[in-house]
Each structure stands twice: as C-alpha cells, then as structure tokens.
A = this chain, B = another copy of it.
Amino acid sequence: MIKAIFEHRSIRKYKETAIDENLLEEILEAGIRASNTGNMQVYSIIVTKDKDIREKLWEQHFKQNMVKQAPVILTFCADFNRFNKWCEYRNAKPGYDNFLSFFTASVDAVIAAQNVALQAEEAGLGICYLGTVNYTADKIIDILELPKGVVPVTTLVLGYPDENPPLSPRLPARAVIHREKYSDFTEAEINEIYKETENSDFTKQLIKENQTENLAQIFTQKRYTEKNNVHFSELLLNVLKKQGFLN
C-alpha cells in the first residue's frame, strides 16, 4: 500500500523551512514520469519560490495564508505552446487550438500533479490543492506570463507541515463506486449514504455557525453558490478563448 495515498491530509499551515533543491527536483521528476497523451507531454509546471510573485499569487488564491507561508507554489498548466512551436519549426501544421486539445492536456497536467503531490508527501512534505486557480485563471496567466496555448489547471502548495490534522471523512464506497454500469440513487439511498456525515458533531457545529437548515445548504448558499459558479464559468471559458483553445 502506498502510504502517501492512504495517509493523505490536505495541509493548510506550513513552516517557513525551505525545500532542498535536490529533493524538489526529485519530486518534480515524479511529475515528468506521469502517464500522458501520446507522450506529447503537453503540460508544464511553474515552480514559484520568489516572495514577491508568491504574494501576487496569494492575492489571486483568495488570500489563503498558506500561499504566503509555504516556500513553493506549483502551478500545473495545460500547455500546447511548446508542442505547437516545435511543430511550426518542423513544417508540421498543429491543429491543437480546440477544446479537445485543452481537455486532454488538462487531464495530463492533473495526472502529473498527483504524482508530484504523492512523491512530496512520501518525502514528508505537506500539500494542498488550490481550486482557486480556476476562478482567477486570467490574473494568474498575467502573473506567471503564460503565453497563448497555456492555461493553468491546478495549483499545489508545497512545504513542511505546521499542523497535523486528522484524516478527512469520506462517503461510503457505495456512493462513489458503481458496478458494471451506473446505478442511480433513490431518496432512501441518498439518505443512507449521507447519514454519517450529516449526523456528525462536526457537521452540527458547522450548521450552527453557518445558520443554515442543513449541510447541503452550506454548499449551495455559502461555499459554492450558483451565482459564483456562473460568474467563474464565464471567466474560465473566456480564458480558454483568449489562450486559443476554443477554435
């Protein structure tokens, strides 16, 4: 069993301790070894240590403290820029300015990111994925000077943990695993799947703090609202267009 998988916790508090450069290179190499489409390696990893640039990234990641604390921020990008340039210098006309190309490059970028995350955790580092990169992709493109053909897909915070949180609870396997084909859920099954989560003291406290009727409303009314989702969807689609992936 891979320990880093079964003992994974997202770390949100970091020590300032720098990461040794040799260790960092080994961790990044784990990303480079990842499965990818046609061995085109159409992704890139931006390694940001510089304090000023990290401060700019911190603003775009909704000012989450960990982005300032941790010594390294990794931005994983879908990247056809290098591949397109190579094709053009070889008298080969690239046809990768479309949604499929963006999506397959994104899948590859995430596979690489998870290799990096696990190898980092194996080495005693902590990680946290930042979904905020999808909300402020336009600004992150400016900060990291990403050219056309490059879109940030996911971000990892990387550093030595300054907290030791418990494992996060997960829904029972039957909520996620379907046998042979998809088996849709009845109301009774939904109730049963969410029962443990809904009845936990943690959830009850959360509902009190958020002043909602139940846990689901915390998601729909506070954390991931329709209004924000619609706004950020439009922004992200505009980014794909601007970076040349919606032709």
Contacts and interface: CB of A to CB of B under 8 A. Distances in A.
User: Main secondary structure on chain A at its contact with chain B?
Assistant: helix
Interface stretch (A12-20, A59-67, A144-152, A158-166): A144-152
Contact of A168 (B39, B154, B221): B39
* Number of copies of this chain that the complex holds: 2
B232 A191 contact: no
Interface residues of A, number: 115
Contacts of A224: 38, 40, 95-96, 101
Given A94-B220, A107-B154, A114-B111, A89 B28 contact: no
Contact of A2 (B119, B127, B131, B185): B119
Nearest to A121: B2
Contacts of A98: 229-230, 233
Contacts of A220: 87, 92-95
Contact of A131 (B5, B37, B216): B37
Nearest to A93: B220
A71 interface: no
